Structure 1
């Protein structure tokens, strides 16, 4: 990395699996204990060295690969209220926590609601700089992988296979988010070049497809085709990497660089039901692209 230029890594699913050292950091019981002892008290002392290691790793990984995974960050025995307070303290090093919805919720626990876990959650980008997921409990009977795709790799593949679709995706699109937290209408390319030279993305397949019904500009036949091409590419096995998160695992995703989704899962009610703690962060890094 030189100055403001990021050494960006565009990756396939095989690349990401082979180079876990670039984006995944295992945490041992001693490190976890030191970190959480300070986090519970709300001040850094004995865990300062662990904090520095975590902070440096997350900064490097999210700037190069676009994601950072830390295995075993959380003590699963910590009561939920204490967990949220301590976790929020740790996250101060990475950005400012922002609301996720119109009600102003700063944290949300993602769980199966009315059987929606049985369906695939399509690739998209959240409307924040960094998406943070902390696994409280994986799915009891399997599934629920967090699916990841590199915007740069998708861009490069489309440039080779469908430059016409890529040209359309690099134009401005309207995302009507009325009623949600943050900007109500976002006009942005779906794939674009960011000010730091990286390939960026902003995508919400249902929102962009339904925006014309809310008063946005109608989509042309060329645009509908480009969306279909993008969705087909995102679900190719060589593009989509599936990450199974275990109890206590942390995942931070830079939304402007990596698209994410979730595979279906089979759950059961009670303490073994799948639960992910979600936090949205805004940071000070320049990551706005063309049209944003």
Structure 2
């Protein structure tokens, strides 16, 4: 084994490997449970027990790096390919949900609307499933077509990739004209692009809307990439952007049996200043609870963002057909609709919706991409009799599949 002297940072070709990081990343049976793979020695314990960790010896052979640490003499082995992908400064941000790791879009980028994947292909082909879920992860939106236009199917779709989040609206909710509506969504009125449930903490992260019937005229969906809108606001009005990232505003819902409140910034940033969430809903936003000296600043910022959101080039307007199931990131994509009239003959526009947490979608997507054919996918609850479920994970592929 080569002598490295005693170094706190090991330089290996173009890799810079701090000794404490290597000790923390060790995957041996003493550091991780051999059955579950879960850590037995976590980062805090490593930092507390081995603050003066150094590499005393190292050897590279057969595509692996073996190191011996001081002061405890622990020995660790790492695949060089793994180090090349995961060394400090190189690791892919697999859990990064910010604008930095996503594909921002306007209507020019999606002239035909969101990517579409046929339901039958989605169920039978892991490639098609990864295509659809990958579009939701990267673009924030996708449409499954030809999903049977039957009540309750939105839950079947949801359970193919995640756990249904039940709210005061139920496990699923109907979006249609109601005789005595308790919500504007249950009328034929136009709905400006918005995110759902901003008065919750946390907000539902993935939303599904399954079309059972269309309106005779009107009722077209309207979608806006909130990350693209926030990016534009940052460019055209940096002061307004900063205000909406720093000032927490109140949201509220008063229902017959439920009162929900939350305070949050309209635009949330991560530690490096990248947008991670947009929370925009004029119907639920309450008058700002800031001091009088900041009131003009906040109202000016709200007006500036509203003006950006109304830019025609930001919106796409797909008309959902019966069987189309829209799946989108509710922390990013704003959705709305054009106005429509009730059908005098009965029926009329009818969507069913539901919510799923984003970690379920991304976890399923990672499973599909992880190892060709090695993973097995099952829904979180049994689908109706006769509905097949994708079982074998393979690599993800093209942007559109049927």
TM range (shorter): 0.7 to 0.9
Please name the residue that 2:260 is paired with: 184
Mapped contact 1:176–1:211 kept (Cα < 8 A): no
Please name the residue that 2:357 is paired with: 282
Please name the residue that 2:193 is paired with: 123
Alpha carbons of 1:157 and 1:283: their partners in 2 closer, same or farther (altered >3 Å)? closer
The number of residue pairs the alignment matches comes to 253
Q: Work out the CA distance in 2 between the residues paired with 1:173 and 1:61.
A: 31
Alpha carbons of 1:53 and 1:133: their partners in 2 closer, same or farther (altered >3 Å)? farther
* Structure 1, 167-176 or 216-225: larger mean CA deviation: 216-225
Alpha carbons of 1:250 and 1:242: their partners in 2 closer, same or farther (altered >3 Å)? same
> How big is the alpha-carbon RMSD for the aligned residues of Structure 1 and Structure 2?
3.1
Please name the residue that 2:173 is paired with: 108
Mapped contact 1:194–1:200 kept (Cα < 8 A): no
- Secondary structure, in 3 states, of the residue corresponding to 2:328? strand
Q: Work out the CA distance in 1 between the residues paired with 2:256 and 2:359.
A: 23
1 or 2, which has the higher helix percentage?
1
- Secondary structure, in 3 states, of the residue corresponding to 1:205? coil
- Secondary structure, in 3 states, of the residue corresponding to 2:251? strand
Q: Offset at 1:192?
A: 2.1
- Secondary structure, in 3 states, of the residue corresponding to 1:14? coil
Please name the residue that 1:41 is paired with: none
Q: Would you say 1:4 and 2:95 are equivalent positions?
A: yes
Q: Work out the CA distance in 2 between the residues paired with 1:168 and 1:220.
A: 11
- Secondary structure, in 3 states, of the residue corresponding to 1:154? helix
Please name the residue that 2:158 is paired with: 91
Q: In the TM superposition, what whole-angstrom CA distance separates every residue of 1:158-217 from its partner, at most 9, and x where no partner exists? A: 122111211111122221235599993222211122479554211111221x356xxx55
* Structure 1, 120-129 or 265-274: larger mean CA deviation: 265-274
Higher relative contact order (CA 8 A, sep 6+): 1
Alpha carbons of 1:174 and 1:181: their partners in 2 closer, same or farther (altered >3 Å)? farther
Q: Work out the CA distance in 2 between the residues paired with 1:155 and 1:91.
A: 28
Q: Would you say 1:64 and 2:138 are equivalent positions?
A: yes
Q: In the TM superposition, what whole-angstrom CA distance separates every residue of 1:208-257 from its partner, at most 9, and x where no partner exists? A: 1x356xxx557712211222222222121111221210110010110111
Structure 2 counterpart of 1:155, from 230, 236, 245: 230
Q: Work out the CA distance in 2 between the residues paired with 1:230 and 1:180.
A: 31
The alignment's TM-score, normalised by the length of structure 1, stands at 0.75
Structure 2 counterpart of 1:73, from 147, 154, 159: 147
What aligned pairs does 1:38-53 form with structure 2 within 5 A after superposition? 49-50=124-125, 52-53=126-127
Structure 1: gaps spanning 5 or more residues: 36-46, 288-292
Q: Offset at 1:26?
A: 4.0
Structure 2: gaps spanning 5 or more residues: 1-91, 197-202, 363-402
